[in-house]
Structure 1
C-alpha cells in the first residue's frame, strides 16, 4: 500500500477582516455568495480534505477562482488557513514555529512558479544553487550540483548567462532545476508551464514525466488545463468555487465524471489519446504454462474458446489456438507450448487506446497487455477499444 505523504484535513480559507466570525457563519451553513454579499468576506476554500501519496504527481485543477493556487500555498504556509490542518510526513505544518517553518521550507518542500521566480542579478547557475546557498553548502559543492541539474534539464552551457538572456522555456527549466537541486521530498508547481507556448509546454511536460520516472518525488501540480492534467497526473483533484468536485485517476475522471461541472470539463477531451488500455483491459479467459498439448486442448474446449495465452514463469510467450494444438497432437510434435505459440503483437499497460487501435484493427484475436517485465496483466479487444472511445461499457469477454 502506498504511503500517504500529505494529508489535507478540512481546510477552509476565508479572506476578509474578520475571518473567524465569517467561519462560524460558514459552519452554520452560509454559502459563498451570501457570505460575500452580507459580510464582504470571500470564501476561498471550503472544507477541503484529500490525501497525496508519496511519489505521485498529484494535479489540482480548476478554472480561475476555483481555489487551486490558494490551496497549494497552504502546503508551505505562504497562506495560513482559517480552519483545518496540513500534515506532511506526520508533522502538522500549521503547528510549526518560525524556525521550524524556515527549516521545513529549506529542506522538505520547494516550489516552481508560473512567473519563473528567478533572481535577475544572479547567473543561471547561481539561481539553481540558491537553495543550497541558504543551507550553508560550500560554493564548490553547490555549483557542482547546480551544474549537474542544469545538464539534466538540457541547459548545459548556459550556466553563466543571466535570466534575461534566456527564453521563457529556458527560464522555466532553470526554475525546475532549482527545485530539483534543493533535493526536497515535495515539489509544488503552481501553473508552472502555463506561460509557455504549446510546443515548449509539451516538451516540459515530457521532461517532467521523464524526471519523475527516475526521481519519484512527490509533486503537487496546479493547472487550469485538463489536457495537461490528464497527461501528467497520477491522480487529479478538480475544484469549483473553493470546493472539491472530484478526485480520481485520469481514467476515472474521463469515464466517470462525478457531476455536470466535471462532465463539462471532459466532454471535449480526445479520450483515445488519454485513456490507457489498463483502464479497459479484461482478465484473459485461459492461461497455459506446463500443460501437454492434449491437456491444453482439453482446457480450451472446456472453456469454449479458440485460443489460450501461453506463459513461462509468469511471462507472456504468445498465444496458441485450438487448430495448432490439434495439428501438433496429430503430428506427435515435441515442441513445448511456448515453442508452439504465436508471437502476437502486445501492448503495455501505459499504451493509450489511440496507440493500441492500429494493432487491434483487423486482428481477430485480443491484444495481450504486458508490463515492462513481460508479465501478462490482461487483454483488450478491438470492440473494447472502440467502446471506450464511444463511452460504452465493454461487455466483451476475452
Structure 2
C-alpha cells in the first residue's frame, strides 16, 4: 500500500501561478517561466508512489526541487496543481485540497520532520527537546518524558538527557532530532539533508544508526540528499530530480546499472558500485563460461574447473585435476570462516563488496547459485569491470 501517492504535482512560488502553469503546459522552461512571470517553478508534473516502510531518497543538485517536493508532503509548500495523498488509516488525505484541521492532524499524528540544522530549542534540555512534540499534542509530562527517554536510549543519549544542546556535538544534536521525531511515533518521517552538516565519519555512523532504527521501527521515510553514495546506502528507492522534474525513479541497483539519461549517467558515474551492485548484475553466466572437456573453466590460468550435472548441480571443483573443497556461504555468515583455496558458493544476491572480500580471502572465483545449482561466477574480470565503471556499457548495450 502506498503511504504517499503523488500525481502530476506542481508547486509554484510566486503570485502568477495560473499563468505560470499555462506556460508550463505550453512547454516553456523553468527559466522562461521566471522571465515571463517572475514565478519560480519548485516542482513540475511529478508523479511518485512511496510504499509503507520504504526509505525513498530524493536526489538532485541544488535547486532541483527535492526539498520543495519534500516540504509539500507536510504542507509547508502549497500545492499549485495535482494531488498529494497521505494514507491515514483506512482513508487518505489530499494535501492539495484538505482543510487546516486535516493538515494539523497529519502534522501532529502522521508526519514528523528532521531538519538539517537540528532545530533544537537551546533553552530546553535534551529530554525536553525530545519530548517537545508530545507536549504540543497535550500529552502529560510524565508520559511524554517516559516516551522521550525510551527513544533517547535507542539513539544512545540516555546519559545526556539533562544536558543542553550547546553541550552536545553536532552528531549528538542530530541524534536528539531523530529521537524527537521517533518519540512522536509518526508513521512518516521527512528528513531534509539531516546529515549534510556533519563530518564524514559522524555522517556515516548516523546513516548506519538510521538503518538500524528503521529495522526496528519500519517507518516510511522520505530522505533528501545531494550525496549519491548516501542515497545508495540507505534508500530502498531513489528519485532523481532536475529543474523541478522527476527524471528517474527506481531501486539503487537499477539507477546505477540503467541510467535513463545522460544527466543520470553523469550523476552515478563516480559512485562506488561495490556499495550497491549485487552479484547477479555482474556475474558471468554459466552459458558464457569456457568448456574443457565436460567441465566448465573457472580460472584459465591455473585450470580451476567445475563439473555439473545436466540440471546444473555442482558435482566437483578441481584445480589441475586435484579436488578443491566447496563451502556454502550466505549473508550473515562470518567472513572469518573462509580459507585460502576453498571455493565458495553463495546466492546471486550477494553484495559485490562481500563477494570481493570472499575472493580476497579464498583466492578463488566466487560461485553463484542456489542449492548447489550453478548460475554463474564472479571472476577477477567481473570485479575489475565494476570497479572501472565498465558495467554501464556492458549492461546497457
Normalising by structure 2, what TM-score?
Answer: 0.80
**By percentage of residues, which structure has more strand?**
2
Counterpart contact for 1:74–1:81, Cα < 8 Å? yes
SS in structure 2 of the partner of residue 345 of structure 1: strand
Counterpart contact for 1:205–1:232, Cα < 8 Å? yes
**Matching residue of 1:66:** 64
C-alpha distance in 1, partners of 2:369/2:52?
27
Alignment map for 1:1-398 (pairs within 5 Å): 3-89=1-87, 90-280=92-282, 306-308=306-308, 319-321=314-316, 343=328, 344-347=343-346, 351-360=350-359, 366-368=366-368, 379-382=376-379, 383-390=381-388, 391-392=390-391
Normalising by structure 1, what TM-score?
Answer: 0.80
**Matching residue of 1:295:** none
Counterpart contact for 1:281–1:369, Cα < 8 Å? no
Q: Gapped runs of 5+ residues in structure 2?
A: 288-293, 298-304, 319-324, 329-342
Aligned-residue offset at 1:389: 3.6
Instruction: Output one character per residue of 1:126-179: Cα deviation in whole Å (capped at 9) or x when no partner.
Output: 111122222222222211111111111111111111112111111100000111
Counterpart contact for 1:319–1:342, Cα < 8 Å? no
Aligned-residue offset at 1:348: 5.9
Counterpart contact for 1:123–1:159, Cα < 8 Å? yes
Q: Gapped runs of 5+ residues in structure 1?
A: 286-300, 310-317, 324-339
Aligned-residue offset at 1:21: 2.0
Aligned-residue offset at 1:218: 0.7
C-alpha distance in 1, partners of 2:110/2:375?
39
C-alpha distance in 1, partners of 2:372/2:100?
51
SS in structure 2 of the partner of residue 73 of structure 1: helix
State how many pairs are aligned. Answer: 357
C-alpha distance in 1, partners of 2:156/2:346?
31
Q: 1:161 to 1:283 in 2, by over 3 A?
A: same
Aligned-residue offset at 1:381: 2.0
C-alpha distance in 1, partners of 2:284/2:145?
51
Instruction: Output one character per residue of 1:158-212: Cα deviation in whole Å (capped at 9) or x when no partner.
Output: 1111112111111100000111111111100001000111111010001011111
C-alpha distance in 2, partners of 1:4/1:279?
28
**Matching residue of 2:302:** none
